[in-house]
Every structure is written in structure tokens, then in C-alpha cells.
Amino acid sequence: MATIPTLGAERAAGRVASRAETRELLGRARYDLLVIGGGILGTATAWTAAQAGLKVAMVEAGDFAGATSSASSKLVHGGLRYLQTGAVRLVAENHKERRALATDVAPHLVNPLTFFVPVYQGGPHSAPKLGAGVFLYSALSAFRDGLGRVVSPAVAARAVPGLRTEGLRRVAVYGDHQMNDARMAVMTVRAAVDAGAVVLNHAEVTGLRFTRGRVTGAEVRDRLDGSEFGVDARLVLNATGPWVDHLRRMEHAGAAPSIRLSKGAHVVLRRQAPWRAALTIPIDHYRVSFAIPWEDHVLLGTTDEEYTGDPLEVRATDADVDQILSEAGHAVRGEHLRREDITYSFAGLRVLPGGPGTTAAAKRETVVTVGRAGMLSVAGGKWTTYRHIGRVILERLKHAPGVGLAEDVSPIPATVPLPGIGAPDAVARRLLVDREPGSRMDPLVARHLATHYGTLSFEIARLIAERPELGERVHPDGPDVWAQVVYAAGQEWAYTVDDVLRRRTTLTVRGLDGAEVRKRTAELLRE
């Protein structure tokens, strides 16, 4: 990564600053923008604002993308079902952002995937209707992911071995993309830091700072050692997701609720055979469920129900798992949906605008509000359009009254790639070929590194060259190696075992984070 020789640089001499160094940086300077929250919206805004030349700080109470932003359906998509509501322009805009991510921003992280929509006898949609829908969907992406069409059940069954064929009439086909959301978040944080931002996770805001009635910073507590410090800023952005109203009440105790929450749960299962395509399963005239090949497993979900509890307590319940397996059973045979094959389940919270009606029918839109003390609060958003949202928020920041940021904002390029950009196939080949005599990298490990780190894989390969034992797999049933743990601690702001196993690697979602793995990971973090 590039060294940024400024007072606010968090990387010096090619390393990530320690927590103590970062706390000192945060506490001794005045920033143009303090972003509170390190999920989709916070990281997107921090990256965008830093590119624009602003002096940016970002703090996150947990880990980066530690809540909902790493609990998505792992899709970068145009939104096929939005066509039902006539949102053609929205779908076209989504496609534009999706293509930018897949081709110019993060081709090492965003991968194309074929989707099948099965049409069963008595189902909510007909083959002609779905055929017309996927054709329009592909046309809105200029047919860059192929031609949306209708195929026979036999064609689909060859790509999806678990497909239930009883009563299956036809199958609609379209193209979209998928990614590992936790890795996208880490790479975006790294891009923000490369652009000059100073960031700290596991740092909880305990109060706001005010100057002449305006919010001008925050009081922060380091959750890992209990130390406290403050951050001063010309403008503060509240991007705390499900906690957005909690922070708004710090600004003004009487702030009315602005959002409502919808829980989305998912299940990850061991796959019984290779899946070469995903299923979009119509549940009713509006809702769909997904069965997606992901990280050598199958990802099922999601639910959509109003949530009124503590966001910290959200989880996938037994009832959620029952519902997900039942809905997947509309199109997937039972032997591919065995409970004993579940490796992981998780849930996140969608942040939706307040208002009447069901959460399933609520608009998925980003809402920006300005509090009476000048703090901006932003809620909603998704990975597909997170770059666009970051730019929209920057425009709002520029014109925040009484701050005068506009004159300090520089134009930013239309497209800036995330760190590690490169073709995964080419990166994997280099990892296999550029080895010391007598050494060899497992092809599965090489492919795994290439599709999760891009060209940054070569930094991990150098760790392995220096300490060959780090090239060993963490678990024989997965492709993650111990060098990734060391790299996560040294270069990716991983401080806890869950930071590493759940969000920097794929060990938890694969069900491979047993006691011995967690113990050894903790030892490496202490080193």
C-alpha cells in the first residue's frame, strides 16, 4: 500500500499504525469530517470524502462491517424484482454500478453468476411473464451478462443438481454478480486509508461534542483497553445503521424515530454436489428466496420481518431456519437441505424509512437527515450502489450549512479501483508459478487468495516465503491458511478472534472455527 506522509496518515513505512498511535492521531487533530459507523455507508463515505481531499476520521463501535454489512445475501445485483413495481430507471442505475464494480473497481472480489428462476405448476408467476422480465432485465444491462431467456428444466438441472423437477414447467435465466461482503468492506477501509483517512474499529462513541450549539466531534472509548479520547471535526456524519436514532438522541434527546428495522436471516450449508448457478425462488407475487453457491457451500435466504428488539441481539432463530429451509424446499430437493449440513446461520437488519405498511413492501432507499445541531444522519443502502451512495452523501456534506466544506472538496475520478485489483485467474497463476525452488502452493489455496485479496495475495505469499509454516491450511476442509491470520492482524485491523475467523477469512461460515483453531488464532493475534 502507498505510504501517506501526512500527520493523519494511518499507514507508515508500509504498516498499519498501532491502536495507540491511531488514538493519538484522532485525538490531536481537527478533521473536516468524522464518520461514526464503519458499515456500508460509513466506509463508502469515508473513502469518497478522502478521495476528495477532505481530512477524514472514521470510528466504529464493533468491527468494520461487523453487523448488517457482513450479513447480506452477498449479491451485487440490479434488482430483478424491482421491475414488478415499474422501477425500470432504478434497475438501470443498479446495473450501471454493478458493471462498474465487476469490471473497473473490484473484479477480484465481484464474480459473475448465472441465476435460474424456476416456474412450477401453480406458482405465482408464469413462464411468459418471467421470460419477458429477464429479457428486459438483461436489456437494461446492455446484454453484457448474456440474454435473459427461458430454458428447459433439463438444462437447469445440469447446472443445479439440487433442483426439484417435479411440476417444473420452465426456467427463466439471467445474469448477476456475487461477492464476499466482509472482504469488500475491508478492502474499502483499506482504500479509504490509502486516500488519507484515519480509522479505528472497536471504538465506541459515548457522547457528542458541541461548540456554540453545533455538533463538532465525539467522545470515544476504546472497547479493547477502556481508554478514552475525543475527536474534533467540522462536520459529523452519523452512519450507525440500526443505531442511527440512538446517536440522533445524543444530539437531541427529543429526536423522533426516523427508521424501522427488518430482519433478514440466512443459512449456510455444505453442498452435496457442485452448483454452477444460483436459484431465485419465487415465494409469492413479491418475495423471493435465494439458493446461491458461495464459498464452496450453498447460501440460503432471506427472511423479511419487522424487528423491534436490541440490534445487538439479532440472530437467526430456529424459526428463521425452519422458514428458510421450507422456502428453499419450493425448488430444492430435501436431501440438499439437511439440518446436519448447516455450517452457519446469521441475521442482519435492514434499515428502512419509517412509515406504514409491511417491511417487505417498504422502499429500499437511503435517507439523509440533518439534526437541529447540524449532525448529518444517513440510513439505508446496499453494496451494489455503495459507491454511488458515497458520492450522494458527499454532495450533501459539501452543502451543509455553516460549515463551508464545498471549497475544500476536490473533484474525484469517476472510477477508483479497490486495492488488489487484478484478474483472479492471472493472480492465481502467478501464485503457483512464482515460487521458490522446491516449494509449491496448493491450487485451491492460490485460487482462494486470488479471489479474496487480488494482487495483495503476493503480500501473503511473501509471509509464507518468510515463514513456511504459515502456508499450512488452518483446517484441512477449507482453503484458508495461517498467513491470512497474520496478515489480518498486521494489515487489516483484526484484533479479535471473530474479526479474523468471521470477517477476514471464511473459517466461521464454513463451520471450521473449532476450539483449537480459535486458540491458535488468539495466539497469533497476541504475537
Is 198 found in the same domain as 128?
A: no
Domain-embedded: residue 12: no
Domain-embedded: residue 483: yes
Which residue, among 469, 503, 500, has the nearest Cα to 485 in the 3D structure? 500
Is 401 found in the same domain as 459?
A: no
Q: Measured between alpha carbons, how far is residue 309 from residues 315, 319, 409 in Å?
A: 11, 16, 40
- CATH number of domain containing 31: 3.50.50.60
pLDDT of the residue at 360: 56
3-state secondary structure (DSSP) of residue 33? strand
Separation of alpha carbons 169 and 154, rounded Å: 10
Tens digits of per-residue pLDDT, 442-486?
A: 999 999 999 999 999 999 999 999 999 999 999 999 999 999 999
| Residues of the chain below pLDDT 70 | 1-15, 355-365, 437-438
| Residue 33 bridge partners (DSSP) | 56, 235
pLDDT of the residue at 362: 52
Is 266 found in the same domain as 252?
A: no
| Residue 177 bridge partners (DSSP) | 76, 112
- CATH number of domain containing 300: 3.30.9.10
Is 325 found in the same domain as 298?
A: yes
3-state DSSP helix/strand/coil % of the chain, to nearest 5: 40, 25, 35
Is 268 found in the same domain as 170?
A: yes
Residue whose C-alpha cell is 411468459: 128
Is 270 found in the same domain as 160?
A: yes
Residues 468 and 450: beta-carbon distance below 8 Å: no
Tens digits of per-residue pLDDT, 308-331?
A: 999 999 999 999 999 999 999 999
Q: 373, 408, 443: which is the final residue of a domain?
A: 408
Residue 348 has φ and ψ, to the nearest 5°, of: -135, 175
Q: Which residue range forms the structural domain that includes residue 149? A: 97-178+260-351
Q: Measured between alpha carbons, how far is residue 365 from residues 264, 350, 424 in Å?
A: 16, 11, 33
Separation of alpha carbons 32 and 476, rounded Å: 48
pLDDT of the residue at 527: 87
Domain-embedded: residue 106: yes
Is 224 found in the same domain as 160?
A: no
Q: 303, 327, 351: which is the final residue of a domain?
A: 351
Domain-embedded: residue 477: yes
Domain-embedded: residue 416: no
Give the H or E element holding residue 112: strand 111-120
Which residue, among 238, 235, 204, 239, has the nearest Cα to 219 in the 3D structure? 204
Domain-embedded: residue 32: yes
Which residue, among 156, 181, 176, has the nearest Cα to 276 in the 3D structure? 156
Is 219 found in the same domain as 163?
A: no
Q: What is the total count of domains within the chain?
A: 3
Is 430 found in the same domain as 444?
A: yes
Residue 360 has φ and ψ, to the nearest 5°, of: -65, -30
pLDDT of the residue at 87: 87
> Which ranges in 399-474 belong to alpha helices (H)?
424-433, 443-453, 457-466
Is 170 found in the same domain as 287?
A: yes
Residue whose C-alpha cell is 475544500: 408
Separation of alpha carbons 254 and 410, rounded Å: 37
Domain-embedded: residue 91: no
pLDDT of the residue at 2: 32
Is 431 found in the same domain as 517?
A: yes
Is 206 found in the same domain as 339?
A: no
Separation of alpha carbons 141 and 113, rounded Å: 14
Separation of alpha carbons 416 and 410, rounded Å: 15
Domain-embedded: residue 244: yes
Separation of alpha carbons 37 and 57, rounded Å: 11
